[in-house]
Amino acid sequence: MASLGIGQGEVSVTPLQLAQYVALIANNGKSYVPHLVKGYVDDATKQLVPFKFNEISTGIKKEALDIVKQGMFLVVNGAGTATRIRMNDIKIAGKTGTAQNPHGKDHAFFVCFAPYENPKIAIAVVVENIGFGSTYAAPIAKKMIEAYLLKDTLKKEIKTVPEIREKLIGAINEN
């Protein structure tokens, strides 16, 4: 029972559940059902119709969540275990983890959200049989954040060059 406090023992969660929990922290205690698509194209109008996702309030006090968020911010931007993924232009809040594996190398974990001030993405990375979360999982999350958030920035920037805009947006969307 004592090992539950450090995330070991009978703790069993999926990476999706970890990402959903981090999103709940980033969204000040509000949770949403995970989804794979934002909407659908209406056959008649040919317009994108966004899905409406019900907000689930957890009742967790904002003050408590702010303490957790500040701690996660310091993991990356203070003297924490994930300082190697710090970025100047995007502030990341995260938590590293290493799960002991009695059958081989440890499992690496990292959960995060970004940007810290206005979260747009929550991520959970699990890499089995490899070692520390800060060494292996956190750098993968950083690459995912860069790909997701900087893709939007690149799309805005290339709108100023109409002759190559469509070609570049197509290439970005393929990746």
HSE toward the beta carbon, residue 136, CA cutoff 13 A? 16
Tens digit of pLDDT for each residue in 19-64?
A: 999 999 999 999 988 888 888 999 999 999 998 888 898 999 999 9
Rounded CA-CA distance 27/120 in Å is 10
| Best CA proximity match to 13, nearest among 90, 103, 88, 107 | 107
pTM of the complete model: 0.79
Topology, domain 2-174: Beta-lactamase (3.40.710)
Token pair recorded at residue 131 = 């070692």
pLDDT at res. 11: 73
Q: Is the peptide bond before 139 cis (omega within 30 degrees of 0)?
A: no
Tens digit of pLDDT for each residue in 96-107?
A: 999 888 899 999
pLDDT at res. 43: 94
Tens digit of pLDDT for each residue in 125-169?
A: 999 999 999 999 999 999 999 999 988 666 666 555 555 556 555
Distance of CA 97 to the CA centre of its chain: 15
Rounded CA-CA distance 122/94 in Å is 9
